[in-house]
């Protein structure tokens, strides 16, 4: 019957389900329960540094280009054609002091000198002649004055004889008077000449001085026709050829004196204000400028050279203050002996090199030395307090190279974590290993 088939199928299904449930329960009873896991805190393994307070000298680092202290542009002082030049007048060559750089055609200047020299001799002879005539005329004046006295005496005698004794003639009296007048006129003329001689001599001496000045100018122009090196200089620029016509003031070459070099280094004004060593009561007196700097020895390194190769220079002066960039520019001076290198494989310090300069400054007192990476940009450090991680706010006195110097927030003996950590949990358990001072964290 159809009803019996349905019932049979339902019974079979129930039997199959019952067997499955019984089998599952049997298998479940054979499984052992898992061992209960213990929830233990894992320690964070870090490197730590035990800090102690110390006094640390500040080193201010800046950059600048080496330049020769004295750079002179050479220009002719007289016009003319170049007839001779130095055989090694090329860029980069060294010209020693007082060596001939170039020579201008001197013929016109020789002629001008000879003409001026002749004029001087002419005026010297003229003055000598005037002085001799002065002496002669003074002696003549005595004679002529005596002749005048005699002529007047003769005139008076003839006049008296004619008036009282009627001796002689009127023409004789007139002739005697004429003779007396001539003698007086000659005496007056000579007196005038004698009085004028000192004036004439002074005028001649003034003309001689003018002629001597012209001679000095002519001799100077002749000397200027030969241009010599003012010092042992390196040729930086040359624009000169033999046969070229030059004019006064026309720059034809440039010499650099490498005996003394300078580097102008701009420094942050805050570093300069806080750490540079200024002398108290300097020679600047009441002028509104910086006091003198202590001439401390600075270390100079070429940015393209070896790290272990360096030179020494002296801090010299403050060059300028720039309000726009907030920088104070100082000059480092290097003498030639300091610029040369004893290492045969190393280059000397020369003009044009871009260098880093380390300037010793004042001393930081009672600061803690840390690797720079141990201090966050928020001025915090991680310390170990009873093997637990703590975040401490510190006061950074100065960051110098790969080191940071902390003046506040830490105490001597504190353990500072120097491992680089990224967002660690506060109060985390720490497992400490001790790092070498200044060494990098893992």
pLDDT in tens, 123-174: 999 999 999 988 888 888 788 788 878 878 877 777 777 777 666 677 877 7
Point out the domain boundary residue: 201, 222, 243.
222
Mean pLDDT of 94-101: 94
66 belongs to a structural domain: no
Residue 347 in tokens: 């280059």
Q: Could you give the percent of the chain with pLDDT greater than 70?
A: 93
Lowest mean pLDDT among 34-48, 193-207, 260-274, 385-399: 34-48
The edge-to-edge listing of strands for the beta sheet with 380-385 is: 388-393, 380-385, 415-417, 44-50, 430-434
pLDDT score of 442 more than 60: no
Residues 99 and 145 in one domain: no
Mean pLDDT of 243-267: 94
Residues 340 and 383 in one domain: no
| pLDDT, tens digit, 9 for 90 and up, residues 362-377 | 999 999 999 999 999 8
Residues 121 and 218 in one domain: yes
Residues 275 and 358 in one domain: yes
Confidence of residue 441 (pLDDT cuts 50, 70, 90): very low
**Of residues 429, 126, 84, 70, the one with CA closest to residue 225:** 84
Residues 99 and 231 in one domain: yes
Provide the CATH number for the domain around residue 384.
Answer: 2.40.420.20
Confidence of residue 91 (pLDDT cuts 50, 70, 90): very high
Q: Give the C-alpha separation, 190 to 132, whole Å.
A: 15
300 belongs to a structural domain: yes
Confidence of residue 10 (pLDDT cuts 50, 70, 90): confident
31 belongs to a structural domain: no
Residues 135 and 281 in one domain: no
Give residue 149's pLDDT: 80
138 belongs to a structural domain: yes
323 belongs to a structural domain: yes
Give residue 281's pLDDT: 67
CA distances in angstroms from 256 to 33, 101, 317, 327, 382, listed in the order given: 93, 14, 21, 28, 56
Residues 181 and 236 in one domain: no
311 belongs to a structural domain: yes
Give residue 33's pLDDT: 67
Domain range for 390 is: 47-56+365-434
12 belongs to a structural domain: no
Give residue 440's pLDDT: 40
> Domain count of the chain?
4
Q: Give the C-alpha separation, 151 to 160, whole Å.
A: 14
Give residue 320's pLDDT: 94
Provide the CATH number for the domain around residue 236.
Answer: 2.40.50.100
10 belongs to a structural domain: no
Residues 324 and 405 in one domain: no
pLDDT score of 3 more than 70: no
| pLDDT, tens digit, 9 for 90 and up, residues 28-62 | 777 666 666 566 778 889 999 999 999 999 999 99
Residues 309 and 376 in one domain: no
Residues 182 and 207 in one domain: yes
Give the three-class secondary structure for 106.
Answer: coil
Confidence of residue 233 (pLDDT cuts 50, 70, 90): very high
DSSP-assigned states of every residue in 318-337: EEEEETTTTEEEEEEEEEHH
Give residue 317's pLDDT: 92
| pLDDT, tens digit, 9 for 90 and up, residues 103-119 | 999 999 999 999 999 99
How do strand 226-228 and strand 44-50 relate by DSSP bridges?
A: unpaired
Q: Which residue has the tokens 């002065």?
A: 134
pLDDT score of 70 more than 70: yes
Residues 179 and 271 in one domain: no
pLDDT score of 439 more than 50: no
Residues 242 and 376 in one domain: no
Give residue 136's pLDDT: 86
| Residues sharing a CB contact under 8 Å with residue 336, sequence separation 6 or more, in sequence order | 258, 259, 260, 261
Give residue 172's pLDDT: 76
| Residues sharing a CB contact under 8 Å with residue 407, sequence separation 6 or more, in sequence order | 364, 366, 367, 368, 395, 396, 397
Contact 355, 301 (CB under 8 A): yes
Give residue 138's pLDDT: 84
Confidence of residue 434 (pLDDT cuts 50, 70, 90): confident
Point out the domain boundary residue: 345, 362, 379.
362
pLDDT score of 227 more than 90: yes
Give residue 422's pLDDT: 86
The total number of residues written for the chain in this structure: 442
Q: What pTM was estimated for this model as a whole?
A: 0.69
Give residue 190's pLDDT: 80
């Amino acid at each position: 019957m159809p009803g019996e088939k349905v019932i049979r199928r339902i019974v079979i299904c129930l039997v199959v389900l019952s067997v499955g449930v019984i089998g599952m329960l049997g298998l479940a009873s054979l499984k052992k329960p898992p061992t209960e896991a213990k929830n233990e805190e894992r320690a964070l393994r870090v490197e730590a540094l035990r800090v102690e307070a110390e006094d640390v000298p500040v080193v201010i680092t800046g950059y600048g280009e080496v330049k020769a202290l004295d750079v002179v542009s050479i220009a002719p002082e007289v016009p003319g054609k170049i007839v001779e030049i130095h055989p090694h007048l090329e860029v980069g060559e060294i010209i020693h002091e007082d060596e001939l750089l170039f020579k201008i055609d001197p013929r016109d200047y020789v002629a001008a000198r000879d003409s001026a020299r002749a004029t001087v001799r002419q005026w010297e002879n003229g003055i000598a002649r005037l002085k001799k005539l002065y002496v002669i005329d003074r002696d003549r004046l005595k004679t002529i004055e005596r002749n005048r006295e005699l002529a007047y005496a003769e005139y008076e005698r003839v006049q008296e004889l004619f008036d009282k004794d009627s001796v002689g003639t009127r023409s004789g009296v007139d002739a005697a008077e004429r003779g007396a007048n001539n003698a007086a006129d000659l005496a007056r003329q000579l007196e005038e000449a004698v009085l004028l001689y000192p004036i004439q001599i002074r005028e001649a001496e003034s003309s001689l001085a003018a002629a001597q000045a012209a001679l000095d100018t002519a001799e100077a122009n002749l000397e200027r026709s030969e241009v010599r090196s003012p010092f042992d200089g390196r040729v930086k620029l040359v624009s000169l050829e033999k046969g070229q016509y030059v004019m006064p003031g026309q720059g034809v070459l440039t010499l650099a004196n490498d005996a003394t070099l300078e580097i102008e280094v701009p420094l942050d004004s805050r570093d300069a204000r806080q750490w540079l060593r200024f002398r108290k009561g300097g020679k600047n007196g009441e002028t509104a400028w910086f006091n003198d700097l202590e001439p401390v020895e600075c270390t100079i390194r070429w940015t393209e050279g070896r790290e272990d190769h360096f030179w020494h220079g002296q801090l010299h002066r403050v060059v300028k203050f720039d309000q726009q960039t907030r920088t104070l520019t100082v000059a480092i001076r290097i003498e030639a002996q300091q610029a040369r290198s004893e290492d045969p494989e190393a280059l000397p310090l020369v003009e044009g090199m871009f260098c880093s300069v380390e300037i010793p400054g004042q001393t930081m007192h009672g600061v803690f030395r840390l690797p720079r990476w141990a201090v966050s940009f928020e001025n915090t450090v991680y310390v170990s307090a009873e093997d637990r991680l703590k975040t401490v706010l510190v006061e950074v006195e100065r960051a110098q190279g790969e080191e940071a110097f902390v003046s506040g927030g830490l105490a001597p003996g504190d353990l500072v974590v120097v491992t680089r950590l990224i967002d660690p949990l506060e109060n985390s358990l720490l497992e400490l290993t001790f790092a070498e001072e200044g060494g990098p964290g893992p």
